[in-house]
């Protein structure tokens, strides 16, 4: 249903007052005040030109604005579509990784999230989620809006990755509620590391730690480091610093993507290095990274 002109289009004096600039009487553009945005759809009522608009009118008003912008940009040759990342919560029929984290549906849309959600409730979108949309996720990640589809798809991937990191299952993909990675820190016996445990000023480091990450459960990974377990192919995959050296678990963290586990492994290794520990962390050992950087800069 089209809206009455007075409900979403202001007269010349109102335009000039709202925008702070003279109005061109020949200009028939829709009301250009900042309130007429997709954020309006979050409101149940909106005061416009002395009128109180209800939610259905607000939704139609914003959709009319989007269509008018599309027509204008088509004539001027400007990008016609702006892609939004839409995040909705699905009902309890979908599995969750954490009970307090709902299973999410995430997609790109040329419509605003509020308009797209109403379309999804009417049966749009992927078939697996039809009839299961509960609401727009109230705290979605801050995702940018792009006209370029390639950039928008990259932003969609980034937002999905962030939501999985936060513990959500996403788009009915099994790995998002099954996969877990552990990042762990061992306190190692510093015997035989007297030279490395001494700083240049003669002071002693606070301790000797090993930082690692694995897709195996923590108890299995500890067994591999103790040489009590092997890989599926029978290989010894314990780290060299833990070979024939006593160690105890200092701390560990569980994350949900391999990219996050590798990133966290590097961050924790650097953090303990700054705290004046002797750190071993495989290929992300801080002192080894500094040597590589120094060698590269010297070349």
Whether residues 251 and 168 share a domain: the answer is no
**Residue 95 main-chain phi, psi, to 5 deg:** -65, 150
Tokens of 243: 């070979």
**Residue 237 main-chain phi, psi, to 5 deg:** -120, 20
Q: Measured between alpha carbons, how far is 79 from 213 in angstroms, rounded to an integer? A: 44
Provide the domain limits for residue 205: 179-298
Q: Measured between alpha carbons, how far is 268 from 113 in angstroms, rounded to an integer? A: 37
Whether residues 108 and 214 share a domain: the answer is no
Q: Domains in the chain: how many in total? A: 3
Q: Measured between alpha carbons, how far is 137 from 121 in angstroms, rounded to an integer? A: 14
Each of the 299 residues of the chain gets a pLDDT tens digit; together they read 334 433 444 443 443 344 343 333 333 344 333 345 555 556 677 776 667 777 777 777 777 777 776 666 666 665 567 899 999 999 999 999 999 999 999 999 989 999 999 999 999 999 999 999 999 999 988 888 988 889 999 999 999 999 999 999 999 999 888 889 999 999 999 999 999 999 989 899 999 999 999 999 999 999 999 988 888 788 888 899 998 899 999 999 999 999 999 999 999 999 999 999 999 999 999 999 999 888 888 75
Tokens of 124: 């749009």
pTM of the predicted model, to two decimals? 0.63
Whether residues 194 and 260 share a domain: the answer is yes
Q: Measured between alpha carbons, how far is 185 from 196 in angstroms, rounded to an integer? A: 19
Last residue of a domain, one of 156, 176, 196: 176
Whether residues 123 and 169 share a domain: the answer is yes
């Amino acid at each position: 249903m089209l809206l009455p002109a007075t409900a979403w289009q202001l007269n010349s004096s109102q335009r000039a007052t709202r925008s702070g600039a003279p109005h061109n009487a020949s200009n028939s553009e829709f009301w250009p005040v900042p309130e007429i945005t997709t954020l309006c759809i979050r409101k149940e009522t909106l005061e416009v030109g002395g009128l109180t608009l209800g939610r259905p009118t607000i939704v139609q008003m914003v959709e009319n604005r989007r269509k008018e912008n599309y027509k204008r940009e088509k004539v001027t040759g400007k990008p016609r579509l702006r892609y939004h990342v839409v995040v909705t919560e699905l009902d309890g029929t979908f599995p969750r990784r954490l009970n307090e984290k709902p299973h999410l549906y995430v997609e790109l849309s040329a419509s605003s999230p509020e308009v797209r959600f109403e379309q999804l409730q009417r049966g749009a979108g992927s078939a697996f989620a039809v009839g299961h949309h509960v609401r727009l996720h109230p705290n979605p990640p801050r995702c940018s809006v792009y006209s370029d589809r390639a950039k928008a798809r990259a932003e969609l991937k980034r937002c999905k990755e962030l939501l999985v990191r936060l513990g959500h299952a996403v788009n009915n993909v099994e790995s998002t509620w099954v996969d877990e990675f552990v990042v762990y820190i061992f306190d190692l016996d510093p015997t035989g590391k007297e030279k490395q445990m001494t700083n240049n000023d003669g002071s002693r480091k606070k301790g000797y730690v090993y930082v690692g990450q694995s897709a195996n459960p923590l108890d299995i990974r500890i067994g591999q480091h103790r040489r009590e377990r092997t890989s599926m192919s029978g290989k010894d995959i314990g780290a060299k610093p833990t070979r024939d050296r006593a160690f105890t678990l200092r701390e560990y963290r569980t994350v949900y993507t391999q990219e996050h586990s590798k990133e966290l492994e590097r961050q924790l290794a650097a953090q303990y290095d700054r705290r004046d520990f002797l750190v071993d962390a495989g290929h992300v050992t801080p002192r080894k990274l500094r040597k590589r950087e120094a060698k590269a800069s010297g070349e």
